[in-house]
Amino acid sequence: MKATVADRGQVTIPKPLRDSLGITPRTVLDFREENGLLIVEKTAQEDPLSKIYGMLRLDKGTDEIMNELRGDP
């Protein structure tokens, strides 16, 4: 498959490749050059919540916290 570089340096990735590789809007791609070849790789997309998951430490159990929030004795 071929694509033409536009005046602004943009290239459209052909739809069959986007579909087969799971490239969707906002997918982050990493570009690099190796021995005269342009290499493009999808980067691992991190869920923003996964960065903070497990950071909060509490001295109470989940059931105790939920009971307090609900106003249960």
Residues 13-72: pLDDT tens digits? 999 999 999 999 989 999 999 999 999 999 877 777 777 777 777 888 888 888 989 987
> Domain for residue 9, yes or no?
no
> Domain for residue 47, yes or no?
yes
- The H or E element spanning position 40 is strand 37-42
> Domain for residue 8, yes or no?
no
User: What is the rounded distance in angstroms from the CA atom of residue 29 to the CA atom of residue 14?
Assistant: 15
Q: Residue 31: its pLDDT value, please? A: 95
Cβ-Cβ contacts under 8 Å for 28 (sequence gap 6 or more): 42, 43, 45
> Domain for residue 32, yes or no?
yes
> Domain for residue 46, yes or no?
yes
> Domain for residue 4, yes or no?
no
- Determine contact, residues 16/1, Cβ cutoff 8 Å: yes
User: What is the rounded distance in angstroms from the CA atom of residue 72 to the CA atom of residue 66?
Assistant: 8
> Domain for residue 6, yes or no?
no
Number of independent structural domains in the chain: 1
**Domain limits at 49?**
15-70
Q: Residue 59: its pLDDT value, please? A: 85
